[in-house]
């Protein structure tokens, strides 16, 4: 069985792997540290947020997720994009924040392989009132992306424009997913990925080797967002189209930036790398990789112009908000390179506003009343 697109309103039930711990005594020892931080991970934790035990290690804290959602929505890699594909939905940390950045995305797709984790994500999205704003897919994101590309090539099931699945024998579930994927134009889509980093041992490395990231390394992630050569060759009309989806990758703070830079060929637009910090310490970085690296001169010029404008604005904002002490990535991880730019970092504690306070209070009231019922 391949990946399954959940129908509107379809929800996986919470199961024995989904927990809402209320007392320290219930919490497995290795996640107690995270449980102590539960309210900075989910502000509404007490409103019945559920997680699987392994989700605690990788879930993005809400203030960080909120800031990423804000940055991504206005980043030049997202210009003209309306479909956001979250490859590793997890317990919903990022995808909920994307859904809360109201109106920015016409479609947000969350893919999650583990049934219990997906049940938690859906439940948590309901707590945040955004369950219906997300399209849920149960399955392996690499399989989903394979289908995404196949729906664009003649080797696969069809062509862009919604008719991809016609005339083929497939399971109903996959047919619906193919129909959805085929309906998107390449130039409308953007990928976000917060992959597993292979446990917490990443902390022991001074410079994190992204080629050894487990179970999926950087190259595999990038490849999933790249049209396979055979699809391109088979379908001449795609020759002129964008072949690489822009992507925002959530990676260890000390990731080797040269490995990220090496993904894009010389002459391609620059990559932005932002360190996201809490209390002055980086939690992780996000690399904003432009897609369409074959961009013609005009398009590249436009991208660089937008990027320049955005960066000038951000530098102005930073001057007012960044505290004096910010962690620096280790030198080896970020020695000068032309292909990326790490010139700014964000300390999230400084500004956590994702919605104005009135909206926040309204949501809190709603949550409290539904919790009491």
Contacts to ligand MGP by CB under 6 A: 57-58, 60-61, 194-197, 200, 203, 250, 283-284
Q: Shortest gap between Cβ of 208 and ligand MGP (angstroms)? A: 11
Bridge partners (DSSP) of residue 289 are 247
- Please say which residue, 189 or 193, places its beta carbon nearer to ligand MGP: 193
Which residue lies nearer to ligand MGP by CB, 18 or 284? 284
CA–CA separation, 159 vs 149, rounded Å?
A: 9
E-assigned strands of 213-303? 247-251, 271-278, 281-289
Cβ-based nearer residue to ligand MGP, 149 or 202 = 202
The total of other beta-carbon atoms located within 10 Å of residue 79's CB is: 16
Least separation in angstroms between residue 323's CB and ligand MGP is: 17
Phi and psi at 119, nearest 5°, equal -60, -40
- Pick between residue 58 and residue 290 the one whose CB is nearest to ligand MGP: 58
Spatial contact of 264 and 298, defined as CB atoms under 8 Å apart: no
Q: Which residues pair with 345 in a beta bridge?
A: 275
Both tokens of 201, joined, read 């041992």
Instruction: Give the integer Cα–Cα distance in Å for 313 and 90.
Output: 32
Report, in Å, the least distance between residue 316 CB and ligand MGP: 28
Choose between 61 and 153: whose C-beta lies nearer to ligand MGP. 61
C-beta of 251: minimal distance to ligand MGP in Å?
Answer: 8
Nearer to ligand MGP, 194 or 226 (CB): 194
Looking at beta carbons only, is 60 or 255 nearer to ligand MGP?
60
The answer to whether 108 and 134 are in contact (CB under 8 A) is yes
Give least dist CB 193 to ligand MGP, A: 8
Minimum separation from the CB atom of position 66 to ligand MGP (A): 13
Least CB distance from residue 345 to ligand MGP, whole Å? 15
């Amino acid at each position: 069985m391949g990946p399954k697109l959940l129908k509107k309103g379809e929800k996986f039930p919470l199961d024995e792997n989904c927990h809402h711990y209320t007392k320290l005594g219930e919490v497995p020892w290795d996640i107690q540290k995270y449980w102590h931080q539960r309210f900075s991970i989910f502000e509404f934790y007490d409103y019945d947020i559920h997680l699987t035990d392994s989700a605690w290690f990788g879930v993005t804290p809400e203030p960080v997720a909120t800031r990423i959602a804000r940055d991504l929505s206005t980043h030049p890699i997202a210009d003209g994009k309306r479909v956001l594909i979250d490859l590793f939905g997890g317990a919903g940390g990022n995808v909920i924040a994307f859904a809360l950045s109201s109106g920015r995305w016409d479609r947000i797709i969350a893919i999650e392989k583990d049934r219990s984790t997906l049940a938690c994500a859906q439940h948590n999205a309901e707590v945040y009132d955004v369950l219906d704003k997300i399209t849920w897919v149960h399955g392996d994101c690499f399989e989903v992306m394979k289908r995404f590309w196949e729906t664009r090539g003649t080797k696969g099931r069809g062509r862009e424009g919604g008719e991809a699945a016609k005339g083929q024998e497939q399971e109903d579930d996959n047919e619906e997913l193919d129909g959805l994927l085929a309906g998107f134009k390449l130039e409308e889509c953007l990928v976000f990925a917060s992959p597993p980093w292979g446990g917490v041992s990443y902390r022991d490395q001074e410079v994190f080797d992204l080629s050894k990231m487990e179970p999926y390394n950087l190259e595999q992630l990038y490849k999933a967002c790249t049209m396979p050569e055979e699809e391109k060759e088979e379908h001449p009309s795609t020759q002129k189209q964008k072949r690489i989806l822009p992507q925002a990758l959530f990676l260890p703070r000390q990731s080797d930036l040269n490995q990220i830079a090496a993904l894009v060929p010389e002459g391609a637009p620059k990559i932005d790398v932002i360190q996201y910090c809490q209390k002055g310490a980086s939690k992780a970085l996000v690399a904003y990789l432009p897609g369409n690296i074959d961009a013609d001169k005009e398009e590249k010029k436009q991208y660089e112009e937008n990027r320049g404008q955005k960066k000038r604005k951000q530098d102005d904002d930073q001057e007012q908000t960044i505290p004096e002490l910010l962690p620096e990535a280790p030198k080896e991880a970020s020695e000068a390179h032309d292909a990326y730019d790490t010139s700014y970092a964000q300390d999230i504690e400084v500004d956590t506003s994702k919605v104005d306070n009135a909206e926040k209070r309204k949501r809190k009231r709603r949550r409290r009343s539904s919790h009491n019922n």
